Amino acid sequence: MAALRFVKVHDYLWEIPKAGGMRVPARIYASERILRELKEDQAPQQAVNVAHLPGIVKYSLAMPDIHWGYGFPIGGVAAFDLEEGVISPGGVGYDINCGVRLLASRLTYEEVAPHLERLVDILFRRVPTGVGAAGALKVSRQELRRVAVEGAHWAVRQGFGSETDLAFIEESGRMEGADPDAVSERAYERGRDQLGTLGSGNHFLEVGYVAQIFDDEAARVLGLFPGQVTVIIHTGSRGFGYQICDDYLAIMDRALAKYHIRLPDRQLACAPLRSPEGQQYLAAMRCGINFAFANRQIIAHNTRKAFAEALGMREEEVGLRTVYEVAHNIAKIEEHTIDGEQRRVCVHRKGATRAFPPGHPQIPAAYRSIGQPVLIPGDMGRYSYVLIGTEQAMQETFGSTCHGAGRQLSRRKAKKVASGRRVADELRAQGIIVRGASLRTINEEIPEAYKDVAEVVEVCHQAGISRKVAQLRPIGCIKG
């Protein structure tokens, strides 16, 4: 395969021109250093492969946390015309609506620090983690069908959190157009006992504090202040969403011949958006989205209970409120300006965060003056970030930005690097208490397995596709 040609657009944006069967150019947001590393990776080629898909508009995009994924790169964004375009499960990912919720408390680091060990232990007990982890909540198939339609609204009706949370979740915690009949029996079996669980891999719950503020006004609007204790919840749709993706990849693979679609990589298996297969996948994917919204809502509720128990306070005194919740792996019908005209398109964001600008009607009214909150978790040893969306993102990236640090070591390599080390003790020496489902889990998630999220965030900030508001530092973490 010929070497890719990267043309510099500006210091933080590079274009791979249209060639061969590409329908649009590919664009990658990156610093020169990140780009040098990317040239040793297959992820840019995946961004080029996405540019071959029927009905793609403007660009195949990749954020600075780009790394190799299934079909689409993780960090990939692509929008498709509703008439001519396709939908691809690989452009959403196996973990449908993997996402992040940020909670902010009334407490300061100094108030929580003496109770930290007990707090992390209670969180580890109340929020199940690990492969196949099952929660205390087990629902019937019929009830799970309701979850698939109602999302976080179902959880609130069951007493997990309050209506106040819903206003601060992307899509208000419920995606319309979900059809539980489009989901397989196997997916329902896998999801029945997984609500309220973190799962495995890079999923986590992190207790931290506001270490630095970059934008005083935006921080004020978001209710963030220096030293404030925060919680990040990062998880998705668990086995339920995984099975939906797996089921529909097989359906899409068969659809390629039916619709005469030729692809450079079969992992991009897709179907026309208007086709029965495309519509059925959209309806099933939305069920996965709603499951993830409900899952994070339940975890947030159990987190509040854990804080109250560990600190010997009432939940109201702790005051853990939802600042915002974003989705990372999702495809949505949105309105965007394309070549000067308003068009409805299907935006795939795989390992990318929506970053809508100030004034957008889909942002909670309380935040419209500043733009949509963007939550960017890092690794368990360094920092995470809160940003806000911009008008430039709306013009250039279909209102999208990065979603995290992005892996730079495979799990196997990370385990090798961690071999013989006492990673939990190293983190404890930095003031960070870590609990994991296993020693292997912690070793696979060592900080150096990830890019430095500060550099990733800086690229997005300098490129103008999101703006820095605050840096959060971890003090306690439970890993899936």
CA distance 150 to 281: 18
Q: Which residues contact 160 (CB under 8 A, 6 or more apart)?
A: 297, 298, 300, 301, 302
3-state secondary structure of 295: helix
205 appears as a binding residue in the annotation: yes
CA distance 52 to 376: 29
115 appears as a binding residue in the annotation: no
378 appears as a binding residue in the annotation: yes
Q: Tell me what percent of the chain is helix, strand and coil, each rounded to the nearest 5.
A: 40, 25, 35
Comparing CA positions, the residue from 78, 83, 52, 56 lying closest to residue 274 is 83
Q: What interhelical angle do 276-311 and 116-126 show, nearest 10?
A: 140
Residue 122, pLDDT score? 96
Exposed (0-12), middle (13-18) or buried (19+): which is 253, by Cβ within 10 Å? middle
Q: Exposure string (b/e) for 385-396, b if CB count within 10 Å is 16 or more?
A: bbbbbbebbbeb
341 appears as a binding residue in the annotation: no
CA distance 161 to 300: 7
Q: Which single residue is written with the structure tokens 């360094």?
A: 382
CA distance 391 to 389: 7
CA distance 39 to 36: 5
* Token pair for 150: 């109602």
CA 462 to chain CA mean position, Å = 21
380 appears as a binding residue in the annotation: yes
379 appears as a binding residue in the annotation: yes
Q: Which single residue is written with the structure tokens 């529909």?
A: 248
Cα 143 to Cα 148, 152, 295: the distances in Å are 9, 13, 14
3-state secondary structure of 292: helix
405 appears as a binding residue in the annotation: yes
SS (H, E, C) 169-208: EHHHHCCCCCCHHHCCHHHHHHHCCCCCCCECCCCEEEEE
Active site residues: 403
455 appears as a binding residue in the annotation: no
Domain definitions of the chain by residue range: 7-93+333-353, 99-252+265-332+354-479
Do the beta carbons of residue 218 and residue 469 sit within 8 Å?
yes
Question: Domain spanning 99-252+265-332+354-479: which CATH class is it, in words?
Answer: alpha beta
Residue 132, pLDDT score? 60
3-state secondary structure of 216: helix
The segments of the chain whose pLDDT lies below 70 read: 1-2, 130-136
403 appears as a binding residue in the annotation: yes
35 appears as a binding residue in the annotation: no
3-state secondary structure of 419: coil
CA distance 246 to 242: 6
Q: Which residues contact 193 (CB under 8 A, 6 or more apart)?
A: 134, 135, 137, 138
Q: Which single residue is written with the structure tokens 């992390």?
A: 120
The model's pTM is: 0.96
- Which DSSP category does 311 fall into? H
Number of residues assigned to the chain:
480
